[in-house]
Amino acid sequence: MTLAEQIREICEGFDGRIGLAAINLQTNETVGYLADEIFPTASVIKLAVLLALMQQVEDGQYSLDDPLMLRRADHVAGSGLLQFLSPGLTMPIRDWAFLMMNISDNLATNALIDHVGMDKVNDWLDAHDYPNVRLHRKINFNLLKTDQKLLGTSTPAALTRMITAVYQQSHVSPAACTEMMRMMNKVGADRVGRYLPFEPYGSEAPDAEILRLAGKTGSLAGMRAQTAVIYRGQPAENRGFALTVMNEGNPEPERWQPDAPGVLVIGRLARAIYDEWMG
């Protein structure tokens, strides 16, 4: 069975709507399933916020070391820890961005959307030819309960191109891309890394042979998404692949468990691609 056939079989067996786009970073071979269709992103849209922020830093508008203060008005529920901390806390923008990406902190996200400017995020997307990726508004769970597309939307293909650009150190400077990869390090170990020989707490293998991943996840009721790069060695070697999986509409009651159907299918798809391209 070819890789495309395996992916089709897995996707067609998922109870809900699902899309995938993946690229072999050494050969540029691609595989997809509904790769150009629009899906809700949930927190995966935070990658676009981060890229626009990094662009403003490169343009000299401010520094990642500049302070940003936690405001009482910033409070938002969901993932993260800043919602439980005291207003007035001040941290460098770098740390706000790390929390947004590494633990998907929603308060950090809304504060950074205010700092960067929602229109500026979408302007950056337009300037870099991402017409199918949109940030629609800040995180508001009352609205998201009515329509999951009201935070962000994208195609799997667009997000795969975006995470590939970060890994290959384009769009912004190599230093900025290295910092973004640090912020996304190990994110999605329970999804794309679930069935891979990925050791999140260290490995005795030679450094060049350690399997690494970096990415961004997103979750809403009956919906899961992940964009990621799975690789070995240095970015210039391109020893790995990038993929995005987006699914929605799973009818199983939402219990926010690590074995939710939308999570498991991401892991199965990542393993099929790994076996074909890296195994």
Residue 78, pLDDT > 80, answer no
* Alpha-carbon dihedral sign for residues 35, 37, 39, 41: positive
pLDDT digits (tens, 9 = 90+) for 102-131: 999 999 999 999 999 999 999 999 999 999
3-277 under CATH 2.70.40.10, yes or no: no
* Alpha-carbon dihedral sign for residues 56, 58, 59, 64: positive
pTM for this entry: 0.95
pLDDT digits (tens, 9 = 90+) for 179-232: 999 999 999 999 999 999 988 887 778 888 999 999 999 999 999 999 999 999
How far apart CA 133 and CA 96 sit, in angstroms, is 23
How far apart CA 147 and CA 279 sit, in angstroms, is 39
| Pairing of the two strands 67-69 and 212-220 | unpaired
pLDDT digits (tens, 9 = 90+) for 137-178: 999 999 999 999 999 999 999 999 999 999 999 999 999 999
56 contact partners, CB below 8 Å, separation of at least 6? 62, 116, 120
Total Cβ atoms within 10 A of residue 5? 10
Local confidence band at 268 (pLDDT 50, 70, 90 cut-offs): very high
How far apart CA 111 and CA 130 sit, in angstroms, is 23
**H-only helix segments in the chain:** 3-12, 46-58, 93-102, 106-116, 118-127, 141-144, 156-167, 174-183, 261-277
Q: 200-218 burial, b for 16+ CB within 10 Å, e for fewer?
A: eeeeeeeeeebbbbbbbbb
List the chain domain ranges.
Answer: 3-277
Q: Write down the mean pLDDT value for the chain.
A: 95
Residue 251, pLDDT > 80, answer yes
